[in-house]
Every structure is written in structure tokens, then in C-alpha cells.
A and B are shown apart, each in its own frame.
Chain A
Amino acid sequence: MLQCTTLRKYGLALTLTAAACTPPVSPPVDVTDVTSVDATATGDVAVRPPPGPYVPHVPRLRRLTRSQYRHSLQDVFGATLVIPRALEPDIVSEGSSSVGSSESSISQRGTEQYETAAYEIAEQLLREPARRATVVPCVPTAVRDDGCTEQVVRAHGRRVYRRALEASEIATLVALGARAATTLNSFDRGIEYVIATMLQSPDFLFREELGREQDGERRYEGFALASRLSFFLWDGPPDDALLDVAGRGELRGDELARQVDRMLADAKLSRGLEAFVEDWLRLGELDELTRDAVIFPAFAADFGPSAREEVQRVVRYIALERDGDFRELLRTRETYVNRRLASLYGVAFPVRDAPPTQFERVTLPESQPRRGLLGMAAFLALQAHPISTSPTLRGKYVRELILCEAIPAPPVGVDTAIPPPSSENRTLRSRLEFHRQASSCRGCHRLLDNIGLGFENFDAIGRFRRADNGVVIDARGDIDGVPYEDPAGIAGILAEHPSFPACVASRLYRHAWGYHDDEMQRAELERLTTSFASGGYRLRALMRTLVLGETFVRAANFAVLPLPPLPDAGAADASDASAARDASAAVDVVTATDVSDASDASDASDVTAEDGR
């Protein structure tokens, strides 16, 4: 078994195996016997071998996230466009919605929601004359005017699909528009159906960034590279300037660098940064935050959104406005608060009579131990229970998200109860002492609780407190042997910890690729980390290093198999029930066992569609 402490001491632990820090669990351990063998106290030094050559990822379609969907439409059709909220939710896979976007499909309900949204947006685009003029660049001469419809398609198709349209695609859209215009006796209604078609297309809803085959690999170039760049840097589609360069085949070499620098200087970079931070720090979970109103009168519905806004503003301030050392995120005393957060943190809000949505930058007093990200409500409240704190959850968040260590789930079959508050065990620290001593628990709980207990001065919504259950809190502890006195001490240790910049680089890389497993890409992660450090830990520069790196345009080749014929070929207008039956047969849910009685024609495709692994 790998030994956690040793690895971390050498700063080499980007990821640990799932077996790390877990004592053997079979047979079940008597957790009351705190004197049994400490399974983690073996002394092997396990140093990882140097990374092998970079292995490129197999490219995957990326489904637009909700924010990318919104940005795509607002970039193309105007920022004032109202985007419907009922849309397919982002799926989180292995803690990341970027990973989820490269694994998930579109559900039945999502398909319905995208349809409804497409018609709502199309109708909106043609409702106001001023906006309509930006959508329809010509004056139709009749209810059906294919020439004018084609101009509409050409004006927006490239932005929507992020590539040039083929003639046959334009013809299909124009024909649809003609049919709708004629049926409904209105040119504009026809355009609505054209736009609604584009907005439901998989060419819009999925990012087709597959690369072109070359020498046994695939390479990103042209429109695919433009799309990869813009969704990473802007969390949105390429603009016309980038598409022009891509369309001319000039998106490489110096021109590529020029375009990247232009994009890094654009205000839309803050959207790309925001998407990365949201994904990395799991801020989406703030939407579900609830707290008991009796115990926490300071809690209200806008608590979660305020807490998220604080994190995003501080990141933007450090990484973009000041272009500063990103490690400041952990130890800065500067933060952005609205009135709710100012009152929670016990600082004066600098503006009188400000609306609740107004944020101002404040400097927290030196006398408080509240520092940086881990002093913010987002972390302190999210990593807590609805009523009480959770040193374990807080420690786990730091280990996994700040230091990128893998902490396995608790072993199965272990009794997890902790003693209730009593005269001997009044504080959570003393009640949790059990987990830090019992042989089946301590392997992980010392790693987690030794950090988490240092935040006990902050209650379950992040308010400072001196005492827990009437006893003055002792927030002292150590992180892997380095002692701290209070949360400010933790912030200082983590900001200097070599795993933190490596962790930021690896999460940024994961965000760019939508891949969870990056063991075969360690060479690139180390290059990024080294570059991050030598450049003064500036995040914007790290993003530049990443997208201009040789690996950003490389992908593994994959076989493209011939498309099997549809079971319902030509049956699009068949009776509804049979169409739906055939459609469901196209999914790989009917396993061979379901079709053992192979009597109808669609069974053959069911068998070949066996299983989703």
C-alpha cells in the first residue's frame, strides 16, 4: 500500500490510489479497540517514476453546458436575449461538469426543453423590429422568399454551428423555412422554424471537436481548434474574427498566438475563468444550500448566490485585474462582500443604503483569522452540515480540491457513530478524537480532521465563533507535520504547499479536456506546473501556456465505423406507436436477453447495440 504522508512530504502526490490511507476492512474491525495495529504506519517510501511520453486523449463530443448554451446564443444574437431556464441540467461526473459534458447525452426531457427553448428564442428574435433587423438582413419580396431565407441562414449559420455550412445543409434549412412560411402564410414565421431547427441541431448542442486524421493521430485545426479555444477561454463560441482566420486555414503559428493573445485580452476571458472556477471548486452545489432558519437567522435564500459571487469576484480580481500570484487566493485578506456577507464577516460595508446585490471590495482586519478562499462562506457553509460544522468535510475539500489528493470513501462495514456531547466530550474536537484514534478510521481521518478541525472557529454558515458548546475552541493542529495556530496559519501553509499550484494546473487541464483520468498525461501536467511557477503563478499565463502547448492540438485517432442502417429507415411518418418502439430499439438498453425470441426485424440491431461500456 502506498503511504500517504511520505508522498505528500515530497510534494509528489498529484493523485493517490484509492487504496491509499485505507486500512484493511476485512474482516470487520472492532472500532472500539483503539489499540489494534495502525495499518497506515508502514514506512515504505514510494516515489512515483518520472512521467512517460504524453498520450493524447480520444476526442469526445462535448455537450454545451448551460452557461455555454446561454453564451452561445447571447454572443450570436445579442446580450439582452432572454434564455429560458428550463434546460437539461449539467451532469457532474467525477466531481466535474466538464467531465460530465464529454460523457453525457441529451435526455427525453432535455430534448423537449431544448425544443421549447428554441421556439421561444426564435419568436423573441423576430418580435422587436430593432432586433429583427439584426436577424433578417434582407427585405422579403413575398411570404416565401428563398433568397432572403438563405441570407438569414448564411448570416448566422456559421456562428451557430461554429463552422461553415455545407450547401445541402443550407438547402434543407431553406426548404423548411419555405414550407413553414407557406403553411403559416408569413415569412417571419418561416424564419422562426429555420432558427428553431438550428438551435435543436446536435451540430449546435454538441461541440464537434474531433480533429483531422494525420500520421496515426488527430490534429485540431481550423474551425475545431477555434471552437476548442473559445469554449476554454471564453466559455462561449468563436467570434467572427476567429472564424475568419480559421476558415482561411491560418489558425496556426504566429497567427494562432496572436489570436490567443487577443482572446486573453478580451473581457469574455472572465467567463472562461468563471466556468473553470465553478467547476473546480464545485460552486454549483451552493444552489442546494439550506440552513435551519431558527438556528441561523443570518441565512436567507440569497446566501448561496452571494457566497458564489464572492469567490468569483476575488478570483477575477487576483487573476485578471491584478494579474497577480494566484496563491493569493488562499491567503489574501481582501475580499468582495455584499451587505449580507459583510455582516456575516463582521466588517463594515463601505456604502450606505446599497442594494443587496451590490458588492464592494473590503480588507478583512488582521486580527481575524479569516483568510482567502477557505475563509469564505462558500467553503465554510458548503462543507458543513445543515446545523453543525463538519471538520471531516472541510478537510476532505482541502485535500481533494486544493491539494488534489484522492481520499477514498469510508470502508464498508464500519460503525461511524461519534459520541454525543457530554461532560467529557463537549466539543466536536473531543468527540471526533475517536475517529483520529480508532485503527479503522485514523488512516484517513487524521488526514482530513487535522485540517478540518482548524476551521472550528467558523460555524456551519461561516460566522466566527470563539467557543463550541461553551468551551473555548482550540483550533491548533498540523498539516502533514507543519504546525498551525489558526485558520490564517492553514492558509499560509497551503499557499506555500507545492501541491497547490500543481493542483490548479491539473484542474485547468481537466477543464480544458473534459477527461477525468490524466495519469498518462503527467508529462504535460508537470510542464504546466513548472511554467506556472516560473511565471509567478499567474493564471492568465498558465491558460496561455496550456492552449499554445503542443498537446492542445493533439488527439488520439479513433476508428469511424460505418453507420448501421436505421431499424426505422423510411418510417419517419409511420404510426406514432411503432415509430416510438423502433426509436427506443435504437438505444442500447435492450440487451440480448430481452430479445432471445428474435422474431422481429429490429432485433438484430438490438443485439449489436449490447451494453454501454
Chain B
Amino acid sequence: MTVNAEATQGAPVLRLQDIRKSFGGIVAIENFSLEVYPGEIVALVGDNGAGKSTLIKIISGVHPPTSGTMTIEGETVTMSNATMARAHGIEVVYQDLALADQQSVYMNMFLGREPTNRFGLLDRRRMIDETEKLVKELDVRIPSAHATIRDLSGGQRQGVAIARATHWASKLILLDEPTAALGVAETAKVEEIVQSLKSRNIGVLIISHSLDQVFKLSDRICVLRRGKQIGVRETAKTDKNEIIAMITGLQHS
């Protein structure tokens, strides 16, 4: 990004510099650099096996990078597990959503981070109130905070997973294929929710296979091919042909 953009948007929430990750002798990611600014949606695209998932795992703390630096709001961080990433305000919406299907929406919202009252018992009132507030703000239409996850539709579940990430993320949300399993109407609803995250001044990094979606949602597009960063384009200044050419490595004239 240019100095100019930094001036208008403030410091990046996430900055990756020269990230390299190898498993044994196999290089999964090399020379990867990217910044994500608050209120910005960056799409990460690439073919299967391009290294998108590895990158998500690096940012979410699951796999520490072999070399390179990661800074969050200017502070260099090293993370060795997902809990540390969460402590830095990074939340991930996993492809499988990581929801406990037989528990209520509100218990899922607070999974692993349940508030307690002064007797050390679960503060259900607070969980329910905060869940209802957030679900309303994000317009995730679920029957109630008490509803059990498995009684919800795919779109509603995705909405709950995004709402949970939104509740806890102070800096960055990673979305891994958020609409891969959804129908047309549900996809539209989830895209709307993702759009609304921009107003919360957090950075969003989204992985998607749908270029239509990428062009609809993102501010910038980062292309990966075989673990290498091919380039970053501003969505408004590029087109599908260019992105496809970058993904496949084939030049279209």
C-alpha cells in the first residue's frame, strides 16, 4: 500500500512481512507480505493448494511462520496457538464454523469464554442479552438466543459464527469460505453481514472461490499461486480476467 493510503486509513491492523513457512523441506508459503487496514475487506484468492489455508493458519496462530514478521497495530507478535491470536483480537470463522450443534446460540457465542457471576456460576442473563443485541445489530435472523444450533439453517449458522467472531474480534476477522455451503438467498444474506463489518472498523480477510463474491465484497484482492504471492490489486482497478490470469499463471490477451 502507498503512504497515501496509510495516511487516510490509519495504521494497518495486520502487517505481514516476508512470511515464509516450510514443512520439513516443502515450502508452503514464501515472500508473502500483506497489510490489512481497519474497515477494509481483503480477499485472498488462489487455486486449490495455493497456500490460502496455510496462511490463515499462520495468521490465526495455529502454525507459526518459519520466518518473517507479523505485526498487529504496529506491534510485532509471535503466536504459537489460537488462544494467543484471540488475545490479540483476531477471530477466525472456520469453514466448518466450529459450532457446538446441540448447544444454544448464546452458549456458542461465548464458547470457551463464558462470563460468570460473583458466585462463579454462568452468567446466562448477560450471555443472552449480549447475544440478542449483536444478532439484532448484524441482522442475523434467528428464532431466539435460546435456539439450538442444529435447528438453524445453514445461513443462520454462518450468521451465528460471524456474529461470534464480530463480538470478540477487536482487530481482524478471518473468513474461510463463508458461503461455500450456502444457497443463493443465504449467500446474499451472509454477504450483507460481511459488508456491514466494514463499519465496525475491523479488518476482514476473506478466502473465497467465488470471484463474483470477491468483486462484490472486497476492497483489495491478494492472489496466491503455489505458495507465492502473485500480487495485490485494488478491486476497483482490476477485472476478473486479470485476477484469473494471476491465479492460473496463464496470460489472456
B is a partner of A: no
